[in-house]
Amino acid sequence: AEMIARYSLERMDWTGRPPTFLLHAMDDAAVPVENSLSLLTTLRAAGVPAEAHLFQEGGHGFGIRLIAGRPAAAWPELALAWAARHGWITQT
């Protein structure tokens, strides 16, 4: 419990942090979607620009494994579009 409290993203000071992109699959058995929702609330309260995408399916760690055909498979395109809107990349 102490380590969870120490490393809880919702308890960190996010003031002045860069824009944040959040992704979460609601069928993630390892981390409840409420954690990302809580972090989003914290970021907004700190004035940090944040974008969040919640997917019905994708499980845990969908960014590092193949998930073709599942809703979370759309995340790379969403992330690239977000980065382009911030001027960090140029989309072709």
Please indicate, yes or no, if residue 28 is contained in any of the structural domains. yes
CA distance 66 to 53: 18
Please indicate, yes or no, if residue 91 is contained in any of the structural domains. no
Per-residue pLDDT, 16: 92
Question: Which residues constitute the domain of residue 30?
Answer: 2-85
Per-residue pLDDT, 5: 79
Using a 10 angstrom Cβ sphere, with 0-12 exposed, 13-18 middle and 19 or more buried, the burial of residue 20 is middle
Please indicate, yes or no, if residue 25 is contained in any of the structural domains. yes
Number of domains in the chain: 1
Q: How far is CA 47 from CA 2, 52, 57, 58, 73, in A?
A: 27, 15, 29, 29, 29
Per-residue pLDDT, 36: 95
CA distance 56 to 6: 29
Walk along the chain (92 residues) and give the pLDDT tens digit of each residue.
788 778 888 788 899 999 999 999 999 999 999 999 999 999 999 999 999 999 999 999 988 877 888 899 999 999 999 999 999 999 87
Please indicate, yes or no, if residue 90 is contained in any of the structural domains. no
Per-residue pLDDT, 9: 80
Give me 16's structure tokens: 């002045």
